[in-house]
Structure 1
Amino acid sequence: MSRLISKRIDELAFFNPSEKVVEGQTLKKIPMENLNIWSRKITGFVLGEYKSGSKFRNNDVLVAKITPCLENGKTAYVDILDENEVAFGSTEFIVLRPKEGIDSNFLYYLAISPTFRKRAISCMEGTSGRKRVNESTLKLYDILLPQEKQQKKIANVLLALDKKIELNNRINAELEAMAKTLYDYWFVQFDFPNEEGKPYKSSGGKMVYNTTLKREIPVMFSEGVLDNLGQIVGGSTPDTKDSDNFCIKGVPWITPNDLSNNQGNKYISKGEKNVSDKGIKSASLKKYPLGTVLLTSRAPIGYMAIARKEFTTNQGFKSFILNKGYPTDFVYYTIKNSLSIIIQFASGSTFKEISTTVLKTVPIVLPPLHIVKDFTNEIYSLTKKQNILEQECSELRNLRDWLLPMLMNGQVTVK
C-alpha cells in the first residue's frame, strides 16, 4: 500500500476564490442543470448579466453544495472557457481551485471520491430538502491523500477513462443527429427514395392534402394516431416501505428520475431499483419486453428511452409495446417528433400530465410499412453503434468508479 499523507482540505484548495467582476457585466453563466450526474464534463452555458453567484476560471472544480445535487454527484471540471476568462454560475456551487502542488485534475477526482463526499455530506445543515454544505466546517476536515508524485499519475489514469467516455458521447451525439436528420428527410420532408432512388417529393412525387393533418402528404401515406404504433401501457409503484418488494436480482423498475439520470443516452438497461416477484404481484405490475419505447408522461413529460431488456415502470410513464408491426426506431423517432403536440395536449393544475386516452389520439403521419422497414434498415448501423458505445461508456464508468477509491486510499498504485 502506498504511503498517504494527511492534509486539511483548505490546504489543498482555495474555496470560492475572489475574482474581479463588474456587476451587470455580461459573462458566460453555468446553471446547475449544465452539470450532469457523475460527469466531469460541463454540457454548456448561457450568457447572462452578473449580479451574484459563484465565479470561476478554467481548471477550477465546481461542487454542488445543496441537496440532492451533492448526493447525486453533481461535480464538474471547468474547461470550456477561454484563457483567463471568468464565468459565473449558481450560488449553490462551491468553487475549488487547486493550491500549489495539487494537480487540478486530481482535485476533481478527490472531490468525487467517497471520502470527500462523506465529509461534505456530513457538513450539511438546514431543513429537509434544502440542506447545504457548511463550507467553513468542510475546510477544517483532514483528508488522506497520496503523495504529490502519485497524484498526477492517478489523475491521468482516471482522466483517460473519462476522455474515452466523452469521446464516445460525442460520437453518439453525431450518430443521433444523423439518424434524426434521416427520419426528418424521409417522414417530415417526404424525400424518402422513390422507385428510381430519387427524393420522392423533390422529384415530383404525388402529394395530397389531408384535412385532419392540415398538410400535404404523399399519396400512399395516411393519417394516423400514436395508438397505431403499439400498445400504450402504464406502470405502478409497490409499497416502498416494504423492503421485500425490491431485490438486487429482480426485474428493473424504471422511474422518471432514472431517465433524467440517463439523459444523453438512447437506451436503458436498469434503474436505481429492481422489483421482486412479490413487488410485481402486490402492485399488479406488468413486465414489458425489450425494444419497448419509454415516454415519461408527467413531471416532466418527454424523457424517452428504448429498453434493452425486460422491465417494469412506475406510474410516471406511458410505454409503447411494439405489437402493431412498426419497428422500434421508427416508433421512437415518431414519438420524439410528436413531443410538442403531446405536451400541448397535457393537462393538470399542479403539474402537467398526459393520459393514455389522450395520448392515443395524438395525430401522426403513417407511411406504408415497406417504407418504414427501408428506413430502419438504413439507420441500423447507426443505432447499433450507438447501443454498443453506450454500453462501453457504462463499463468505463464502472471501472472508473471501482478504481477511484482504491487509487485514492493507496490500495492500488500507478507504476
Structure 2
Amino acid sequence: MNKQKKLHEATNDLEKEYKGIQIVEITPNDWDILKFNETCHIQSGLSWSKDQEVESPEEGDIAVIKINNVLDGKLDLKNPLHLKDVTDEQIEKNKARKNWLIMIGSNGSQERIAKCGLIKEDMDFVFASFLYGIKSKVSNLNSYFLYYLLNSDKVQKRLQSFTSGSTSLNNLNKSILEKLVIPAPKISEQRKIASVLYNVDQAIQKTDEIIEQTQKVKKGLMQDLFTEGYYNHEEFKEASRFSKIPIKWEVEKINQISDVIGGGTPSTKNEDFWGGEIPWITPSELTELDSNIVSKTERYITEKGLDSCSAKLLPKKSLLLTSRASIGMCVINDVPMATNQGFQSLVPNEDIDIWYLLYRMRFDSPYLNSIGTGSTYSEVSNTMMKKIDIPIPKKEEQKKIGRTIKSTDEQIFSLKKEKDRLHCLKKGLLQDLLTGKVRTKGKDIKVSNEVLEAENA
C-alpha cells in the first residue's frame, strides 16, 4: 500500500466530516501513521465555582493551571490561581503529571486554540476546564516529539480550522482530537528529533535568562548613575522632586536645555501630502523598534504635507519622546524626521549629550506618566513638558553616563537578535524535521535525558 493511500485511509473518517481537509501531509515511507485516540489519553480539566477561588496558597487545597498559564508553547506558573473545597478524588483525576501536554481547547481567540505546554515534573496543580490533558499511552510515541509536533505551525493551523462555537468563544471539541492521525517515525528517530528541538529551546531559555539578568543590571546601573553620578561624588543634595543627586549637578527646566516641539498629521484625504521623502513617525512604531536609533519609518510625507499641519522637521539627533497614551517612549532620529501629534520631541542645545538625555527621560518615564492628564487618554502637553525639571551634570559626565548605559543596552540588543535567530532556527527545524524533509535517522545525535524520560516504558 503506497503512502498516499495509507494516509487517505487513516484520515477517511475526518474527511467525511471535513471535505478537502487533511490532518497530515505526505511524510517519508518508513514513518507510521498513528491514530490519536489509540495512542493518547485525552482528558478534560476541572470546573469550579467562583466562591472556591482564594487569593493565597494557605487558603486553598490546590493550585490550578488556567488558559492564561499556557503561553507560546510553554507553561508560565508564576502566579497561579488557588482553589478551596476541592476533593481528593477531583485532585487525583485532574492533577498535572509529568510528560502530560496541556492544550487550550476553548478560547475567545481562535489563534490561542490548540496551544500546548509540556509538564516536565509532577506538580501540585490541577488543570482547568477549557484545557485538555494529553498523555502518550504507548511506548512508540515520545511526549516531547508529540509536544513539538502539535505546536508546529501547520498542525496548529489545521487544528484551529476545526474550531466551532460562537463569535465570543471558539471550541476544539474532544471528538475532533480523538479522530486525529499523526505522522511518527520510529521511536529512535523521534528521540533525536525531539532532542535537537529541545536543545534549541534550552538555548532560547538560556538567552532569555541572560537578557533578564542584563536588564536587571541596567536598571540598577541607571539608578546608581542618576542618583550618585559617574564620578566619585562625596556630597549630595535634595532638589525639586529628586531625593538625591550630586551637589555639583544643576537642575534645569526642559525648555532651558532644549526646544520642545510637537507633531502633527497631514490630511490623509489629500494624496499630495503623502508618499514624499520626509520620514514621519507614530508612537506605535517605537514599540516595534529593536534599537535606540530610528532612520526609517512606515510612512513618508511631502513638503506640502509638512507645511499643511503642525508637524515640524526635527534635526538629526533629536529625542523623539512620546507624550500621549504610551508616555515616555523615546528614540534618537538618525535623519531629519517629522512626528505625529503623539510626541513632544526635544531638540537639545550644545551643552546636552543626546545619550544622557535619552536615558534620563526613560528613567523619568514613571514620573511623566504620573503627571499626564486627559479624560480620553493621558497626555503630557507641550506646556507641561517644558516645565519638567531635569538634573544636568557637566557635559563630560553626561557623556560618561550615557555611554555606560548605552554599552549595556547594546549587549541586550545583541542578545535579543541572537534570541530571534534561535527562534527562526527552531521554526525551520520544526518544518524540516517534523515532515521528514531533514532526517535524523542514522545521524550521530545525542539524545537528552529529558527526552528519554518523556515516554512510557
TM-score, normalised via structure 2 length: 0.64
- 1:15 equivalent to 2:42? Answer yes
Give 1:181 shift.
0.9
- 1:87 equivalent to 2:114? Answer no
Give 1:367 shift.
3.1
The whole-number CA distance in structure 2 between the counterparts of 1:315 and 1:354 is 14
The whole-number CA distance in structure 1 between the counterparts of 2:32 and 2:336 is 47
Give the conservation status (yes or no) of the 8 Å contact 2:45–2:132.
Answer: no
Give the conservation status (yes or no) of the 8 Å contact 1:9–1:138.
Answer: no
Match of 2:100 in 1: 60
Cα distance change on mapping 1:217 and 1:115 into 2, 3 Å: closer
Match of 1:213 in 2: 241
Match of 2:151 in 1: 112
More helix by share: 2
Give the conservation status (yes or no) of the 8 Å contact 1:124–1:134.
Answer: yes
Match of 1:378 in 2: 404
Residue of structure 2 aligned with 1:45, choices 65, 73, 78:
78
The whole-number CA distance in structure 1 between the counterparts of 2:246 and 2:266 is 44
Match of 2:417 in 1: 391
Give 1:404 shift.
1.0
The whole-number CA distance in structure 2 between the counterparts of 1:165 and 1:235 is 41
Cα distance change on mapping 1:35 and 1:351 into 2, 3 Å: farther
Match of 1:340 in 2: 366
- 1:167 equivalent to 2:200? Answer no
Output the amino acid matched with 2:251.
E
- 1:179 equivalent to 2:218? Answer yes
- Kindly report which structure 2 residues correspond to 1:301-320, keeping only aligned pairs within 5 A, or say none: 318=343
Give the conservation status (yes or no) of the 8 Å contact 1:35–1:43.
Answer: yes
The whole-number CA distance in structure 1 between the counterparts of 2:237 and 2:413 is 38
Q: What's the RMSD between the two structures over aligned residues?
A: 5.0
Cα distance change on mapping 1:316 and 1:214 into 2, 3 Å: same
SS of residue paired to 1:115: helix
Match of 2:5 in 1: none
Aligned residues with identical type, % of pairs: 18
**Aligned residue pair count:** 382
Output the amino acid matched with 2:203.
K
Unaligned runs of 5+ in 1: 195-199, 240-244
The whole-number CA distance in structure 1 between the counterparts of 2:113 and 2:416 is 20
Unaligned runs of 5+ in 2: 1-26, 54-59, 269-273, 444-457
Give 1:193 shift.
2.2
Q: What does the per-residue CA deviation read over 1:154-208, in whole Å, with 9 as the maximum and x for residues that have no partner?
A: 11111211211111111121112112211111213x25323xxxxx2xx3x1x34
Rg comparison, structure with higher value = 2
Give 1:120 shift.
2.5
SS of residue paired to 2:410: helix
The whole-number CA distance in structure 1 between the counterparts of 2:423 and 2:201 is 8
The whole-number CA distance in structure 2 between the counterparts of 1:405 and 1:237 is 45
Output the amino acid matched with 1:223.
V
Give 1:335 shift.
3.6
The whole-number CA distance in structure 2 between the counterparts of 1:236 and 1:269 is 22
SS of residue paired to 1:412: coil
The whole-number CA distance in structure 2 between the counterparts of 1:14 and 1:310 is 59
Output the amino acid matched with 1:45.
K
- 1:96 equivalent to 2:134? Answer yes
Give the conservation status (yes or no) of the 8 Å contact 2:32–2:183.
Answer: yes
The whole-number CA distance in structure 1 between the counterparts of 2:103 and 2:338 is 31
Match of 1:223 in 2: 251
Give the conservation status (yes or no) of the 8 Å contact 2:46–2:127.
Answer: no
Give the conservation status (yes or no) of the 8 Å contact 1:224–1:366.
Answer: yes
The whole-number CA distance in structure 1 between the counterparts of 2:162 and 2:45 is 23
